[in-house]
Amino acid sequence: MTTKNRLFAWAVLAAGLSGAVGLRPAVANEELEKMSQDPKQWVMPAGNYANWRFTELKQITPENAHRLHPVWTFSTGVLRGHEGGPLVVGDMMYVHTPFPNKVFALDLNHDGRIVWAYEPKQDPNVIPVMCCDTVNRGVAYGDGKIFLHQADTTLVALDAKTGKVIWSVKDDDPAKGATGTSAPLVVKDKVLVGVSGGEFGVQGHVTAYNIKDGSMAWRAYSEGPDDQLLFDPEKTTVMGKPVGKDSSLKTWEGDQWKIGGGTTWGWISYDPKLNLVYYGSGNPSTWNPTQRPGDNKWSMTVFARDPDTGVAKWVYQMTPHDEWDYDGINEMILADVKVHGQQRHALVHFDRNGFAYVLDRATGELLEANKFDPAVNWATKVDLTTGRPEVVPQYSTDHNGADHNTKGICPAALGSKDEQPAAFSPVTGLFYVPTNHVCMDYEPYKVTYTAGQPYVGATLSMYPPPGENNLGNFIAYDVNEGKIVWSDPEPFSVWSGALVTATGVAFYGTLDGYLKAVDVKNGKLLYKFKTPSGIIGNVNAYEHNGKEYIAVLSGVGGWAGIGMAAGLTNDTDGLGAVGAYKSLSNYTQLGGVLTVFSVE
């Protein structure tokens, strides 16, 4: 038995014993879960483990939201796209930047005075292998440490009080195209991180490190043999049935899985009661589907794993044999909602492919899948029995194994929603979703793999749906009815993360720079303010000295803003995004700024 097989066998045994007798490793970070229940703080990237992006603070209401105004700002000094958002832990705010991945600790008792600043020394050669801007989606807190996943894949643990490096570990190799853009998540005594680089043929994985010393606890790949996937062929399930031996290998030609993509650069959520973590994997490599026949499992997949061992309990693949770059990395929102009139412990996922998926988060049973943008045309529906989408042949880019230049596909590769996270209100039971409203032409071409070089194999052009001119909408969505309740159109994609309050206000930012507050009942605009740059960051809330605040990072960039961020001008540059957003520079300019709002 190989070392990997021995480790896998041990992990499966440990998982079985744990379930049988209730044994669990010592929980080193119980304080974090308790802190996340305090609405005065914002101690996780999404506010809580369930990825709700919801605040119970009640000072800001639909009645007084018009009195919102900026109360202080902070410049990050970095000009690329600012995704993610700040953490608030006690009296301290932690703000991050895109490359070079600075972290600032700001004292909320002294008007945001800089207590410490950390700037890693990274090889700038990592910049050319960062797809779709040099973004970073945030830091994590736990055990008195701030965790940062740097562009060069280094995971670093900083002392939250001093900024001193406690430990660091290299997660992967940028020379092969692997980069770090995602926010880590602390779960019990571990910190979990994904990896970026699907456009360079990186074999995707999620890795758990021990928060005390940075030693690796486990690593689970997205495709490959069972011991690398951390699959038990008889106990890991898909659609309620065992996945069986070598479920991934059987769907790739030869050794293609080794450069198969399926990277994990999105968000991670956690259910403490079920002791399961959830995340999605991205596109298979290359973007040319004819070069990788088969379903390409387990790219484009929702994973449910035991955080102690990494062993997968269940999986579900949303877009088998992806032909459109519909990464499955968007957030998994854990919510108890009605589906067909019955209350379910659900996982809700608004996928790039334009379908809103509802699954039982304990078993992986597919409960519902409906379009959340009316323009979606690549598939008619998802079969709830098989779990597979019913693809419309007209919009396929793989015609019986031959490359096909396909026009009018909706959504574009940007998806009906990219990584910008939605919010869930347990008060209304609705989801508030920032969306893209973009279609594309897709021309695949043959490409050869070379380590560290782009492995894309497609040229794209993007534009609004026929007869329309808005590139985005902010919507309220009802999973019980499977429909949009209301929709606010925007001239550009809504590329910021949403926030919803217990009092009935939803917040989001726009690519042209506005922070907007709307009424959750009908989408009516309550307040807007134009920040110094386009907003692709995520809105959050906190309370300090008895006053509620709303905070958001502005700084245009990301995939939609890559033309401005990287100085690209050709319509097909930026993997097709530059042409669709060429007028954005008429409305905003580069610049990273944190803006904090209050009603008083």
pTM: 0.94
Residue 599's contacts (CB-CB under 8 Å, 6 or more residues apart) are: 59, 60, 64, 65, 67, 68, 69, 548
Query: Are 112 and 92 within 8 A, CB to CB?
Result: no
User: Cα(468)–Cα(562) distance, rounded to whole angstroms?
Assistant: 23
Give residue 82's pLDDT. Answer: 98
* First vs last C-alpha separation in the chain: 66
Query: Are 338 and 344 within 8 A, CB to CB?
Result: yes
Query: Are 238 and 18 within 8 A, CB to CB?
Result: no
Residue 295 DSSP SS3 = coil
Give residue 274's pLDDT. Answer: 97
Residue 563's contacts (CB-CB under 8 Å, 6 or more residues apart) are: 569, 573, 574, 577, 578, 581, 582, 584, 585
Give residue 29's pLDDT. Answer: 72
On the CB side of 111, CA atoms within 13 Å amount to 4
| Distance (Å) of CA 244 to CA 203, 226, 241 | 21, 9, 9
Give residue 400's pLDDT. Answer: 85
Of all helices (H) and strands (E), which one includes residue 430? none
> Which parts of the chain sit beneath pLDDT 70?
1-28
User: Cα(55)–Cα(231) distance, rounded to whole angstroms?
Assistant: 36
User: Cα(209)–Cα(191) distance, rounded to whole angstroms?
Assistant: 5
> How long is the chain?
600
Give residue 19's pLDDT. Answer: 36
The catalytic residue among 189, 226, 325, 403 is: 325
Give residue 20's pLDDT. Answer: 34
Q: Sign of the C-alpha dihedral, residues 392, 394, 396, 398? A: positive
Give residue 6's pLDDT. Answer: 36
SS3 for 111-140, per residue?
CCEEEEEECCCCCHHHHHHCCCCCCCCCCE
- Could you confirm whether domain 3-15+31-598 is CATH 2.60.120.330? no
Spell out the domain ranges in the chain: 3-15+31-598
User: Cα(429)–Cα(248) distance, rounded to whole angstroms?
Assistant: 36
- Concerning whether 441 is annotated as a catalytic residue, the answer is no
User: Cα(127)–Cα(140) distance, rounded to whole angstroms?
Assistant: 23
Instruction: Report pLDDT digits (tens) over 419-459.
Output: 999 999 999 999 999 999 999 999 999 999 999 999 999 99
